[in-house]
Amino acid sequence: MGEGSIRSEAIPRHIAVIMDGNGRWAEERGLARTDGHHAGVDTVRKIVRAARDLGVSWLTLFAFSSENWNRPKLEVDELMKLPEEFFESELPDAIENGIRIRMIGNRDRLPSHVLSTLDEAIEATRGNSSMRLTFALSYGGRGEIVAAVHRLLQDYDLGKLDPDSLDEDRFAEYLDHPELPDVDLLIRTGGERRVSNFLLWQLAYAEILVTDIMWPDFDREDLEAAILDYQSRERRYGKISAQVRGEGGSAS
Ligand code: FPP
C-alpha cells in the first residue's frame, strides 16, 4: 500500500465497496452469520462518516446482490432488516451533514418495509449534495445493462434512436442511473478477487483494491490506506506512462 499522507486534491470521486466477509467474521467468533451482518452495519456507519470527512463525492455500497436472493430465507429476512437498522440511527446524521441517499437495484423484489425506509431517506435528503451515498440492493450489473438495452430498443422502435448516433455516452443514458459516475476506486473486503456482477458498466476504468480484512473489521484507517494506495497508482486509461506524465511519448 502507498505511504505518506492523503492528498486532498486527489481523493477518488467515486468509491464503490463490495462489503464481503460478514459471515466468516461471525463464524470465526462462533457467532451466527447474521451477527456478522449486524456488525457490518456498524462498519457502514463508520465508513460513511469517514468518507464524508475525507471529501468523497460518491460512495456506493453493495448491500445485497441479485444473487443473494438464493441464500437461506432466514438470512435474507435478516439482511432485509439492515436498512431500517442503519437509517434509524443515521438518517438524522445524513440530513445534518448534507449526505444524499440513493438506491440502485431491482425495486420489484424488495419488501415494502425496505422500500419505504429507503424512500423516506431518499426524500428527506433529496436537496443534499455533499456526498451521494448509494445503496445497491437487489442489484446486478448485467441486469442493469440488459434493462438499458430494452429501453434502447423501445426508443429504436419509436424512431427516437438513430443507430449511427449510438456510442458509449449515448448508451449510458439508457442505464437505470446515468448520473452515477464511473467508479475511481473499487474496494473489496474479505479477500475474494471477484467483481461479483457489481457496477459492470461503471467499473470500466476503476482501480481495484482487495483486502483480506473482513468487512466488520474494516475501519477509517483502512479506508485511508486504500485511498493512499489509490493515490500511488498511475491511471493510464490505455495510454503509456510518458503520455500520462505529459511527456508526449510519441512512437518515433
Ligand atoms: C457479504 O458477506 C455481505 C452481504 C451479503 C451483506 C452486506 C451488508 C452489509 C455489510 C450491511 C448493509 C447495510 C445497510 C445499511 C443496507 P458474506 O455474508 O458473503 O460474508 P462471507 O463471504 O464471509 O460469507
Q: Is 128 in the pocket of ligand 1 (CB under 6 A)?
A: no
- What is the pLDDT at residue 32? 96
- pLDDT tens, position by position, 98-137: 999 999 999 999 999 999 999 999 999 999 999 999 999 9
What would the grid cell of residue 127 be? 436537496
Closest to 199 measured CA to CA, from 251, 112, 247, 134: 134
Residues noted as catalytic: 20, 68
* 136 alpha carbon – ligand 1 mean position (Å): 12
The total number of residues written for the chain in this structure: 252
Q: How far is CA 2 from the centre of its chain?
A: 22
Low-confidence ranges of the chain (pLDDT < 50): 252
Class of residue 142 by CB neighbours under 10 A (exposed 0-12, middle 13-18, buried 19+): exposed
What would the grid cell of residue 43 be? 462498519
The share of the chain scoring above pLDDT 70, in percent, equals 97
Tell me which residue has its CA closest to atom 18 in ligand 1.
23
* 46 alpha carbon – ligand 1 mean position (Å): 15
| Ligand 1 pocket mutation, candidates 69, 85, 135, 215, criterion most atoms within 8 A of CB | 215
| Ligand 1 pocket mutation, candidates 17, 18, 19, criterion most atoms within 8 A of CB | 19
- What is the pLDDT at residue 252? 45
